[in-house]
Amino acid sequence: MKTKKDSDDLVIIKKYANRRLYNTESSSYVTLDFLAQMVKDKREFKVVDAKSGQDLTRSVLTQIIVEEESKGETLLPLSFLRQLIAFYGGGMDTLVPRYLEHSMAAFAAQQDKWRQMMMSGNPGMATFEEMTRNNMAMFEQAAKMWTGGFAPPGTTGPESGTDELSQMRTQMAAMQEQLDKLAKS
């Protein structure tokens, strides 16, 4: 039995030339705020041009982000926005989306663990340590993906004698160096 939240239950939203959005499921006009709530409710939708049928979902989702950012709920740091813009046209168009998708999925999973831990009333130190280890492993995996498997000498493992923050800084510098090289080529 299908429920409203099944990913197969795709809602079609038609966008008209006058910028109005029409929900074909409820036969009513909707707003960007309504679509934002659908995203939060994990409802799948596709926005199409009412005349041509062209998929406009990506641009409408981007428009929702712009609207949210203009309301003062800024989730995207300026440095991130600048870096993201710099990646356009730089040959990173297949790597960056996969990396961001993987990072956001990992972040969401960590957020769910954190929420469950807080609801259980037992945010023990062992749980924090496990989350830290998982985050470090994810960061190292991401660093290897960005650098093509290169890890600077002395930046991994406890034998390096440096703290984790120093290791992360070294890895970030190596990633930036690799990105700079890729951007130049």
Domain ranges in the chain are: 11-70, 78-184
Distance separating alpha carbons of residues 123 and 165, to the nearest angstrom: 23
- What pLDDT score does 103 carry? 85
Distance (Å, whole) CA 125 – CA 150: 32
Whether 104 contacts 138, CB under 8 Å: no
**pLDDT tens digit at each of 185 positions of the chain:** 344 444 468 999 999 999 999 999 999 999 999 999 999 999 999 999 999 999 999 999 999 999 999 988 788 888 888 888 888 888 877 888 888 888 888 888 888 777 777 777 665 656 666 666 776 676 666 666 655 554 444 444 444 444 666 677 777 777 777 776 666 65
Amino acid 157: pLDDT:
45
For residues 143 and 151, the answer to whether their CB atoms sit within 8 Å is yes
Cα dist from 134 to 13, 15, 32, 71, 140, whole Å? 39, 42, 36, 34, 10
* Biggest distance spanned by C-alpha atoms of the chain: 64
Report the Cα–Cα distance between both ends of the chain, in Å, rounded: 53
Cα–Cα nearest to 99, from 120, 79, 84: 84
Query: Do 139 and 167 form a contact (C-beta atoms < 8 A)?
Result: no
Q: How far apart are CA 89 and CA 166, in angstroms?
A: 32
Contact 69, 76 (CB under 8 A): yes
